[in-house]
A and B are shown apart, each in its own frame.
Chain A
Amino acid sequence: MKIPSIFLIFLLGLFTGCSDGLWSKKQGLTESDKAFEKLLIRQFIMAKPGDVIEIPEGTHYLSRSLTLNVDGVTIRGAGMDKSVLSFKHQIAGAEGLLVNASDFTMEDFAIEDSKGDAVKVNEAKNVIIRRIRTEWTNGPATKNGSYGLYPVQTENTLIEECVSIGASDAGIYVGQSKNVIVRKNHAEKNVAGIEVENTQGADVYDNVAINNTGGILVFNMPNLTLPGHSTRIYNNKVDANNHKNFGRKGTPVASIPAGSGIVINSNDKVEIFHNEITNNDTANIIVSSFYSTNYSEEAMDKSFDPYPEEIYIYGNHFEGGGASPDHLDMKAVKVALFGLNGRFPDILWDGYYNPEKVENGQMKLSDAICIDNGVAGIINLDAGNNFKNVTTDITPHQCHHNKLPPVQLAFLAGAG
């Protein structure tokens, strides 16, 4: 009876011929998770412009990152606490969700515990990120993914009503983009709450940044093609951003002192007004240069401008803060000038300015840090001269700049 047994093997082959074999043997995922993952990935691949990909209620465990390459797609869940994509068991992919597509909307779901960034949108136009929660559920930790929401090289982007918790770099991080609105978001327990970097035209308002290392950051980094300028930060609540810095050394935000409310680094034309900035232990506002991040000129391309210029601070409500700065040298300066129980003024400037743009021995008025904020004071640390001429003289800052125009997102008009 030799042949029948061979036949049986063939028959078996017939049924298992298209089965997975050892493929799909994944740790940590149940059969239904695996089926969901495959189905979802297929939806991302087969998506056509105009499609809505629904994330159903429940927590769905995924082992691999999701990638979207098709324009005009919406990804929609049932709510940031109801529809959860968990990457706790992720084995591959540098993000939770990677989007390389324009006219993109994501709303009403959560991405948890991705190994790298939760959401990265790379080179896209007309992007809406709305009511999304990104969170590392174990709380702040250096091993957490770097960025919560990370649109980079985008044009026309709206991020609103999102929640971002526990990123080891920035909770909401807009990089190398043009025309951005970041509003009504909540950023908590990240190294940087909200960060706008190398971006032209950003309005950051009605957000809450609380218990991050730094609340809201506006940075310029060297060796990139787009120098950032024109950011308005207003009507935000920036409170008690005193979390110990858990950023990995080498990443730019790792140099942010704990207790930083709003930080401007090497960026130009930044307007900070009508915010509530309170209880940030190093300083409520810090204005600084790339030089203060311990890099020399060798690290910068020749076109890079490391000096923050045309900064305009007015009408903010300050309370508390500045009494317990993070870095040793700043602690020493604080104690020397203001005593053990004293506090820094609300605005702290490292004192770097362009030596080629000087007027009467001072920074040119047209480039100056202008302050019109009642009794709020400034301290110039003169860090470039080893803290030699530290001063709290506000006179060079009693000036005004032209106000920046609001950011317009024309594509929203039709979208409603």
Chain B
Amino acid sequence: MRQFFLFVMIIWVGVGCSPQPKEVNTFLPDQYPEKLSDWGVLLHAHQRLSPNQQVEVYQLNSTLFTDYAHKLRTIWLPEQSQMGYQVDEAFDFPVGAVISKTFYYPKHKEYTKENWVFQKTFDEQADFSSHGFSLDLNQVHLVETRLLVKQQHGWDVIAYHWQKDQQDAYREIAGDSFQATLIDTNGKKESFVYVAPDQNQCAGCHAPNHSSKKIQPIGPKARHLNTLVHRAMGEENQLMRWQRMGLLKNLPLMEYIPKNADETRPNEFKLSHRARSYLDINCGHCHNPDGPADTSGLFLDNQPYPLLQIGFCKPPIAAGKGSGGHRFDIVPGNAQESILVYRMATTDPGEMMPELGRSLVHQEGLALVTEWINQLEGRCD
């Protein structure tokens, strides 16, 4: 009897959990697998989730806020292929490239399988073990893994939602939501509904040109990637590392590469650069002259626009009730009277900015933009 059960178990394990592929697999658009594990980008074994050795983990200077989720980002390129450097746009990726972003939260001691209580922490490096970028699933709860896959026709977005048992993630095109709680280091609790976007909503952020509507990665741009990373060989510039590894071509001299402020080293950058970097990654993919939010005439990407177009003393166009009772996007010296700050500080879906991807206020981002506006000089009359 006992042997029979053992036998069944082994069969089940054999069928249910297909062996972890050592290679990263690629698929044609109509053959995308239902399970994330089939891609082989992330390997799940012994209660750990680890990037395949062939994928490169990457980091960004400033990041897009998603309800305090932590993120593990990877890039995989087909053998012998390279990314092409671009100064402002996303790098030019070869067909076959797979970018992954895994959203997860560190578990709080109150976390149970039925009650998702997470820690509100900021240091993502602390999530990784000493040997590489492996996540301990006793310590973290996996939420989603989103893939961007470069095909002949351009980028495809594919979202996988991690199941409650955390064994694998399954494809979900229609989005979803769940209830969870965050507890910060002072014990303060915050309940929220985490909302995973549906596949059409992905384009809300990932189609920075609203005329072509082509999907683009947001993070892999020179100014976001131009940062120091710690790897086995020590500390090095991420772009130079990629050039050295043969992943990136046409990299110019460092002095010609734009660089956003590294949010983990605030003391090394000017306040205005930190604030503009934050707005760039959180708002610029829509608020640019070709983006879906060009209807507002407000541009928040990193380009050197006239002050009016960045929002200084600019009246809103179609903010509607999102104006919050204020007359200008940015009132220099007065964050509390600025629509920009109002829309970052609200969680009403009809008023908040960004429109998608958060149910909570990003207090640290809000504080940064508030501090920046409050020290600006000028008047709007």
Contact = CB atoms under 8 A, between A and B. Distances in A.
A138 B351 CA distance: 19
Interface string A93-124: 11000101000000000000011110000110
Given A45-B174, A299-B313, A91 B195 contact: yes
Interface string A31-46: 0000000100110111
A93 B297 contact: no
Contact of B292 (A26, A122, A225, A251): A122
B349 A116 contact: yes
Given A93-B355, A249-B327, A169 B9 contact: no
A115 B12 contact: no
Contact of A69 (B161, B203, B320, B381): B203
B10 to A, nearest CB: 11
Interface stretch (B96-104, B164-172, B260-268, B363-371): B164-172
Contacts of A117: 320, 350
A197 to B, nearest CB: 8
Interface stretch (B46-54, B175-183, B275-283): B175-183
Q: Which of B16, B173, B320, B325 has the most CB of A within 10 A?
A: B320
Nearest to A169: B320
B299 to A, nearest CB: 10
Q: Which of B173, B295, B339 has the most CB of A within 10 A?
A: B295
A251 B329 CA distance: 11
Given A64-B177, A94-B355, A18 B163 contact: yes
B150 interface: no
A152 B318 contact: yes
Contacts of B359: 91-92
A147 B295 CA distance: 14
Contacts of B294: 153
Interface residues of A, number: 75
A142 B321 contact: yes
Q: Which of A45, A122, A153, A176 has the most CB of B within 10 A?
A: A45
A62 to B, nearest CB: 12
Contacts of A69: 200, 203, 213
B110 interface: no
A250 interface: yes
B348 A92 contact: no
B350 A301 contact: no
A68 to B, nearest CB: 7
Interface stretch (A1-9, A228-236, A266-274, A343-351): A1-9
A69 B157 CA distance: 14
A248 interface: yes
B116 interface: yes
B165 A16 contact: yes
B355 A301 contact: no
Nearest to A299: B315
Contact of B320 (A93, A146, A299): A146
Given A299-B314, A299-B315, A143 B321 contact: yes
Given A22-B179, A251-B319, A41 B198 contact: yes
B349 A153 contact: no
A365 to B, nearest CB: 32
Interface residues of B, number: 69
A25 B114 CA distance: 12
Q: Which of A13, A19, A63, A223 has the most CB of B within 10 A?
A: A223
Contact of B325 (A26, A146, A248): A248
A254 B165 CA distance: 52
Nearest to B177: A26
B106 interface: no
Given A91-B359, A100-B213, A252-B315, A67 B200 contact: yes
Interface in A112-145: 114-117, 122-123, 142-145
B174 A23 contact: no
Nearest to B113: A21
Nearest to B309: A223
B381 A298 contact: yes
A222 B204 contact: no
B163 A146 contact: no
A224 interface: yes
A68 B200 contact: yes
Nearest to B143: A23
B145 to A, nearest CB: 14
Contact of B164 (A7, A21, A225): A21
A69 B201 CA distance: 9
B345 interface: no
A249 B315 CA distance: 11
B94 interface: no
Interface string B308-339: 11000111111111111111100000000001
A385 B116 CA distance: 64
B320 A153 contact: no
Q: Which of B167, B177, B319 has the most CB of A within 10 A?
A: B177
A248 B320 contact: yes
A395 interface: no
A3 B6 contact: yes
Contacts of B323: 248-251, 254
B87 interface: no
Contact of B318 (A146, A222, A249): A146
Contacts of A16: 164-165
A92 B356 contact: yes
Given A91-B195, A150-B318, A299 B176 contact: no
Contact of A224 (B8, B114, B179, B317): B317
A38 B175 CA distance: 8
Interface in B15-49: 16
Given A248-B324, A298-B313, A22 B178 contact: yes
Contact of A19 (B164, B176, B356): B164
B380 interface: yes
A360 interface: no
Nearest to A21: B164
A117 B321 CA distance: 10
A168 interface: yes
Contacts of A359: none
Contact of B174 (A4, A42, A173, A295): A42
A10 interface: yes
Contact of A153 (B163, B175, B213, B295): B295
B177 A91 contact: yes
Nearest to A7: B5
B153 to A, nearest CB: 14
7 contacts: A17-B167, A65-B349, A93-B201, A221-B315, A223-B314, A250-B315, A250-B326
Interface of B: 2, 5-6, 8-9, 12, 16, 114, 116, 161, 163-165, 167-168, 170, 173-180, 193, 195, 198-201, 203-204, 207, 210-211, 213, 292, 294-295, 297, 308-309, 313-328, 339, 348-352, 355-356, 359, 380-381
Q: Which 5 A-B pairs have the closest CB atoms?
A: A146-B320, A21-B164, A250-B323, A116-B350, A115-B350
